């Protein structure tokens, strides 16, 4: 063998030069009572970025995730949003967990021309300010209520509906949206509001049943409002329960047992086991982090949108926001296009029911090619 040939065999291939990553920020609680929710968001965004980096070309830039801990508290959220915006290496932000906190800090992102994708909150106020850099993924509360009312009118042929909600942060907007659509659907729907701080479930149940409803719609969170399930049965209600996304949780079944049987709840989260495009991603995520929760799935989708937007144009904040506003994006949880208000242009809901102690998928609010059923 010639010496030159030998050297050619043993000479190492030159390493690629270091490439400065494109930074995406996640602002969420990584301390305090909501720390677990923050970790779920981080796991989703991190997995999406790792997947993108794994398949990038030699000329493509890698992405990196930077996390900021807002403890789900307003003062911390304001400070962490300022930190994220002052770092010129960050091109977009995913966050926050709380809708009311998000609403209060949006001006910070607007002033910095920072794209903000909201993966967790369905609170209506997130998009009422019509900021061109803010985009929400979950279906908002009032739209959830409207879509649920149409389901009840079309599928259950109800004539009378009692809407139960508490005077807390989540529920009133859902109830208002439901009532609005119910009037259009010629449903006799009456809202019963009761205390969040000092709930009297028996009194609320008796008030809701005064009009002899065919269906009771629960606009709230199971942790706070769940005891109304037993109170309604104890008061003699034998009809159907339909509930908002706040009830779509494994803990609803664990905590309320047989009283939850037959409950129908809506969710922004599609049934990924019926979405072929999501199968491999869900499997990879489960191997690394465990169950793919809705928070993780929507954070994954948020990172996907940012990565795709960067790939379609210049990696600067203004260009990314414009690309997101004008584009269409296939993600882990479905396709997204955004309206002028930053809401999904084609919002959808997925309905599930409790059957023999498990959540079982029923249908989507309207057909989608993303889900095979």
Distance CA 94, CA 27 (A): 6
Residue 323 CB contacts under 8 Å (≥ 6 apart), including other chains: 309, 312, 313
Nearest to 304 by CA among 46, 20, 28, 38: 46
Q: What is the secondary structure of 169-185 as a DSSP string?
A: SSSHHHHHHHHHHHHHT
Predicted pLDDT at 156: 92
CB atoms under 10 Å from CB of 3, counted, come to 7
The answer to whether the beta carbons of residues 248 and 265 sit under 8 Å apart is yes
Paired tokens of 53: 């980096």
Distances (CA, A) of 53 to 126, 173, 219, 309, 318: 31, 40, 41, 15, 23
Predicted pLDDT at 58: 66
Predicted pLDDT at 18: 59
Distance CA 154, CA 94 (A): 37
Paired tokens of 147: 């879509």
Q: Say which DSSP state 344 is in.
A: B
Predicted pLDDT at 169: 86
Beta-bridge partner residues of 328: 337
Predicted pLDDT at 268: 96
Distance CA 202, CA 150 (A): 28
The answer to whether the beta carbons of residues 140 and 126 sit under 8 Å apart is yes
The answer to whether the beta carbons of residues 37 and 28 sit under 8 Å apart is yes
Residue 349 CB contacts under 8 Å (≥ 6 apart), including other chains: 139, 144, 147, 148, 266, 267, 268, 364, 365
Residue 95 CB contacts under 8 Å (≥ 6 apart), including other chains: 25, 26, 27, 28, 41, 68, 70, 81, 102, 116, 118, 119
The answer to whether the beta carbons of residues 66 and 24 sit under 8 Å apart is yes
Distance CA 31, CA 39 (A): 10
**Domains detected in the chain:** 22-139+274-337 (3.40.50.2300), 142-267+349-364 (3.40.50.2300)
pLDDT (tens, 9 = 90+) of the chain, 373 residues, equals 443 333 333 334 344 455 789 999 999 999 999 999 999 999 999 999 999 999 877 667 899 999 999 999 999 999 999 999 999 999 999 999 999 999 999 999 999 999 999 999 999 999 999 999 999 999 999 999 999 999 999 999 899 999 999 998 899 999 999 999 999 999 999 999 999 999 999 999 999 999 999 999 999 999 999 999 999 999 999 999 999 999 999 999 999 999 999 999 999 999 999 998 898 999 999 999 999 999 999 999 999 999 999 999 888 999 999 999 999 999 999 999 999 999 999 999 999 999 999 999 999 999 888 887 7
């Amino acid at each position: 063998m010639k010496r030159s040939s030998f050297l050619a065999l043993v000479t190492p291939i030159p390493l690629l030069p270091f490439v400065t990553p494109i930074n995406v920020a996640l602002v969420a609680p990584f301390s305090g009572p909501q720390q677990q929710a923050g970790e779920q968001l981080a796991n989703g965004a991190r997995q999406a970025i790792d997947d993108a980096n794994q398949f990038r070309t030699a000329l493509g830039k890698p992405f990196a995730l930077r996390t900021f801990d807002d403890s789900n508290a307003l003062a911390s959220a304001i400070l962490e949003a300022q930190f994220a915006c002052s770092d010129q290496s960050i091109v977009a932000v995913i966050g926050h967990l709380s809708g009311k906190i998000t609403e209060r800090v949006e001006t910070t992102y607007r002033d910095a021309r920072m794209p903000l994708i909201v993966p967790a909150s369905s609170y209506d106020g997130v998009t009422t300010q019509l900021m061109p850099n803010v985009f929400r993924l979950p279906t908002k509360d009032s739209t959830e209520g409207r879509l649920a009312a149409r389901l009840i009118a079309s599928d259950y042929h109800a004539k009378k509906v009692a809407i139960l909600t508490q005077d807390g942060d989540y529920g009133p907007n859902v109830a208002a949206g439901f009532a609005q659509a119910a009037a259009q659907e010629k449903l006799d729907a009456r809202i019963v509001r009761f205390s969040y701080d000092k709930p009297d479930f028996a009194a609320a149940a008796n008030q809701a049943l005064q009009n002899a409803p065919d269906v009771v719609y629960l606009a709230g969170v199971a942790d706070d409002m769940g005891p109304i399930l037993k109170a309604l049965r104890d008061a003699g209600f034998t009809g159907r329960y339909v509930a908002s996304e706040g009830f779509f949780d494994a803990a609803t079944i664990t905590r309320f047992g047989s009283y939850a049987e037959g409950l129908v709840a809506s969710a922004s989260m599609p049934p990924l086991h019926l979405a072929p495009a999501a199968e491999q991603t869900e499997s990879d995520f489960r191997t690394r982090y465990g169950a793919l929760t809705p928070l993780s799935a929507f954070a994954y989708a948020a990172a996907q949108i940012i990565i795709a937007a960067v790939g379609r144009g210049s990696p600067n904040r203004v260009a990314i926001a414009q690309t997101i506003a004008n584009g269409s994006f296939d993600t882990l949880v479905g396709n997204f296009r955004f309206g002028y208000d930053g809401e999904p242009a084609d919002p959808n809901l997925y309905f599930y029911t409790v059957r023999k102690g498990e959540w079982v998928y029923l249908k989507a609010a309207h057909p989608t090619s993303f889900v095979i059923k």
